[in-house]
Amino acid sequence: MQSQQPQNHQNLHTGTVPPQLNHGGHEMFDVHEVLAGAINTINTYTMLSGHVKDPELRDILQRQKQFMATEYNTTLECFKTGQDPAVPTQSYSMKQGNDFTYGMKPSQPQKPIQSVAEINDGTIALNMLNAVKSGAMIKTSAAMEATNPVVRRVLADSLPNCIEMAYEISLYQNKHGYYQVPQLAEQDMQLMQNSYAPCPTQPQMPGTQGLH
């Protein structure tokens, strides 16, 4: 996270705005959603942890949960103070490789579970993924509305972490057959890839077209 120097901001009616109140109305509501969403995600991970059977998934859940807790504290601190947090935003690193297996094979149709006894690692991974993806969308919206430069930077810097966590979970799902990835035919992929051409990076000056 890039450090931001405290700045004096003005309110048209009350004068100088102290750092801890350096937030616009939209920012207040959106960051409230970010923090509430982070609590919900951490709570979800906590509730799911007792049902995990696979040690690999348990390791992912515990590492992500610990990282989320630290990131939550960082976001909360800068939101309450309006200044650089004591612990800056960190970068999440996953342990998974990045090899997907493509293609579909027959599987049992999915349906809602009817009891807690039906919860399995596939269900848990899906809930984790949905929670992380939801957080990414809320943070994106909040970062676009933030007027406080520190809060904006903290939210922006946390987005790659959401993406990395979601990618780690989806790799786990794919590896264990919980998430199948279809592919288009090779000819169709090549046609789509070749339907775009590079954009010139040195545009001609006005009035020079056709001159040699």
Check residue 108 and give its pLDDT. Answer: 85
pLDDT tens digits for 52-81?
999 999 999 999 999 999 999 999 998 998
Least confidently predicted of 103-107, 174-178, 203-207? 203-207
pLDDT tens digits for 83-102?
899 999 999 999 878 889 99
DSSP state letters, 154-201: HHHHHHHHHHHHHHHHHHHHHHTTSS-B----HHHHHHHHTT--PPPS
Residues 6+ apart with CB under 8 A from 180: 103, 104, 105, 107, 174
Give the global pTM: 0.85
Q: Residue 27 — pLDDT band, cuts 50, 70, 90?
A: confident
Q: Residue 10 — pLDDT band, cuts 50, 70, 90?
A: low
Q: With 50 as the cut, is the pLDDT of residue 139 above it?
A: yes
Check residue 201 and give its pLDDT. Answer: 87
Amino acid in the structure at residue 201: T
Three-state DSSP at 17 gives: strand
